[in-house]
Amino acid sequence: MQKRKLGKSSLQVSAIGLGCMGMSFSYGPPKDKTEMISLLRTAVDRGVTFFDTAEVYGPYTNEQLLGEALSPVRDKVIIATKFGFNLHPDGSPGWQGLSSKPEQIKRVAEASLQRLKTEVIDLFYQHRVDPEVPIEDVAGTVKELIREGKVKHFGLSEAGVQTIRRAHAVQPVAALQNEYSLWWRNPEAEVIPTLEELGIGMVPYSPLGKGFLTGKIDASATFEKNDFRSTLPRFTPEALKANHAVIDLLARTAKQKNATPAQIALAWVLAQKPWMVPIPGTTKLHRLDENLGALDVTLTPEDLREIDTASAQIKIEGARYPEKLEAMTGR
């Protein structure tokens, strides 16, 4: 397994990680626990060392799943989890708002340590920026947790460049987690240059466009009510039909490379910067193997130019999130 270092941090992980959210949350009903434990351990056997979770996934059940699956191989893996949402007291799915108050961050850290069956959180992200709490207070709180040996590295998710700079000045940010793929390239304008300047790694989530870039979703696709894609403007039948041009582009390149559209989409992300580590999610072993196969795909500078030229001609239809959720990003 190829390894990558997240920016200037000492955090070295497998070149492709595993996003674990869909095992418990957001993509329909929770999957069978025994099957997911088997998948997680197989991922470790395949060389994956980087696993992504959060307390809000479930809530709580995804961290518990990883704790049970990965505790026997804890010395071989890097686990990232997140704080920042104010969850419902009864533990029901969703959240009541944002909360990154220092006492809340500390409570989440203690609870996550218990659920993950570990003595230290390798990478602790602020899931979304809380406009009510100065980012200096957030970074300072995580700095305390690092000093106490409960956390190793500090991360941010979907933060704006000024927030990144302010946080990094208090406690070095090891990684920024952001959506990034061939059909969501907004980070290229400001975020990626800032990360490069500061030496911060990037962890692209949804590098396969929440499944769309696999080429397996078309305009006739339907989503269950507990599949959050049913609420996304980009997943309406009209948008799916209009955006199929992206799939056609990936399929053309895939044919030339004897690969799949998903592998080209991941290889494209991997080719952008050596300090990017995508975390495609899956609940199926054959998809895990397909995703890891992207590491064997080489896109030449000419390939990348052709993809960029062709994709520049494609107008992506539909917002990635409803307005209320999009307003929580880029702060």
Cis peptide before 237 (omega within 30 of 0): no
Contacts of 177 (CB under 8 A, 6+ apart): 52, 80, 125, 155, 156, 157, 158, 202, 203, 204, 205, 279
Neighbours of 292 (CB within 10 A): 22
State how far the Cα of 158 lies from the Cα of 189, in Å rounded to an integer: 14
How crowded is the C-beta side of 84, counted as CA atoms within 13 Å?
26
Choice among 27, 57, 180, 205 that is catalytic: 57
State how far the Cα of 78 lies from the Cα of 70, in Å rounded to an integer: 10
Q: What is the DSSP string of 32-61?
A: PHHHHHHHHHHHHHTT--EEE--TTTTTTH
What's the residue count for the chain? Answer: 331
27 tagged catalytic = no
State how far the Cα of 164 lies from the Cα of 196, in Å rounded to an integer: 12
Among all residues, which ones are annotated catalytic?
57
